[in-house]
């Protein structure tokens, strides 16, 4: 096999994921996403974008937005992502995102964007600011993904519709201009529990819900203890895993199991007859122990703003190099005049 063939055979697949620097990340984000990202960094080329351009579809306090971008970079690294193996950068630092989004807007139909359920939901939540960016948000998301010839995109239920639109846009463009974009697939981790709201355990834990419903990654031990003590259970007192009939109890068992306390049935058997107080105490211990190393590393990192800035600056240069290779190809295909 030639060196070129060897290089092609060893080429890793690309994973792209973006998180908005707004609100706070939760225990659900850690168990369902961040912790799994760490396991991917040796087998894939991973790109973790801080999507500050998406964030401004809702009004932001400028100082808060700037601060949260660095804080999110710190959380990424504190969770175990090596910035030398993964690209961690701000979306707004790579102009190709906005440039490709404009081009893709011209290959996206109004009817497609009208069908996006998240636009309807966000419009209802922000009725005083239904802006064009909110409407074309999925096209910018498509640009984010397609710029890097992404193979796999970790997506939750709320983003599946956007990924399908991204695939449709890419296939439409390829149909006109040839093989320009890689068609991305959704990535579903092999393992990972779905962590539910502490107050409404039939719903997924979400940072957009009231604070008492979720455990934030940076909550201190006393806050975690208070939130879990107030978590909804039920009235029959039996500890068993039964998501349909005992969603609150099942959620606490799921959290412990996901954080390494053992198989769910074994935990439930060990806690038989000990009451919900003991279940909540054990859950609190598991959560505090799991988040403590991340929180300590986060505090160390966030105090070194010069280091964090250097990471996102250097990673943005690499991201821009990769993104511009795709962007220049697209610009040539559609007929833009060559640059001198």
> What is the set of active-site residues?
122, 204, 207
278: number of Cβ within 10 Å? 13
Cα separations in angstroms, 270 against 176, 225, 241, 264, 274 = 62, 21, 13, 10, 9
User: For residue 235, which phi and psi values (nearest 5 degrees)?
Assistant: -100, -5
Please list, in sequence order, all residues whose beta carbon lies within 8 angstroms of the beta carbon of residue 323, skipping any fewer than 6 positions away. 94, 96, 97, 100, 147, 148
329: number of Cβ within 10 Å? 13
d(CA 137, CA 324) in angstroms, rounded, equals 21
């Amino acid at each position: 096999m030639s060196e070129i063939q060897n290089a092609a055979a060893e080429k890793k697949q690309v994973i792209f994921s973006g998180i908005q620097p707004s609100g706070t990340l939760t225990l659900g984000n850690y168990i369902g996403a961040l912790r799994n990202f760490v396991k991917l960094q040796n087998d894939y080329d991973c790109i973790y974008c801080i999507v500050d351009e998406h964030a401004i579809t809702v009004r932001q306090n400028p100082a808060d937005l700037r601060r949260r971008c660095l804080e999110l970079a710190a959380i990424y690294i504190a969770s175990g992502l090596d910035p030398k193996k993964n690209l961690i950068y701000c979306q707004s630092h790579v102009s190709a995102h906005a440039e490709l989004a404009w081009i893709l807007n011209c290959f996206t139909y109004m009817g497609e964007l009208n069908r996006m359920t998240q636009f309807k939901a966000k419009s209802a939540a922000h009725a005083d600011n239904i802006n064009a960016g909110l409407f074309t948000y999925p096209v910018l998301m498509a640009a984010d993904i397609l710029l890097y010839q992404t193979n796999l995109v970790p997506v939750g239920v709320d983003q599946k519709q956007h990924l399908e639109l991204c695939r449709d846009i890419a296939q439409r463009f390829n149909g006109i201009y040839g093989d320009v974009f890689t068609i991305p697939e959704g990535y579903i981790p092999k393992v990972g529990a779905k962590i539910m709201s502490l107050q409404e355990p039939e719903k997924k834990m979400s940072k957009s819900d009231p604070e008492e419903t979720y455990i934030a990654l940076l909550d201190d031990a006393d806050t975690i203890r208070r939130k879990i003590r107030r978590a909804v259970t039920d009235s029959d007192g039996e500890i068993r895993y039964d998501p349909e009939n005992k969603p609150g109890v099942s959620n606490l068992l799921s959290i412990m199991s996901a954080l390494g306390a053992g198989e769910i049935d074994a935990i439930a058997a060990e806690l038989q007859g000990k009451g919900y107080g003991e279940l909540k105490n054990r859950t609190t211990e598991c959560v505090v122990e799991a988040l403590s190393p991340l929180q300590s590393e986060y505090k160390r990192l966030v105090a070194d703003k010069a280091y964090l800035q250097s990471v996102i600056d250097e990673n943005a240069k690499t991201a821009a190099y990769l993104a511009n290779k795709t962007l220049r190809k697209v610009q040539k295909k559609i007929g833009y005049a060559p640059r001198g």
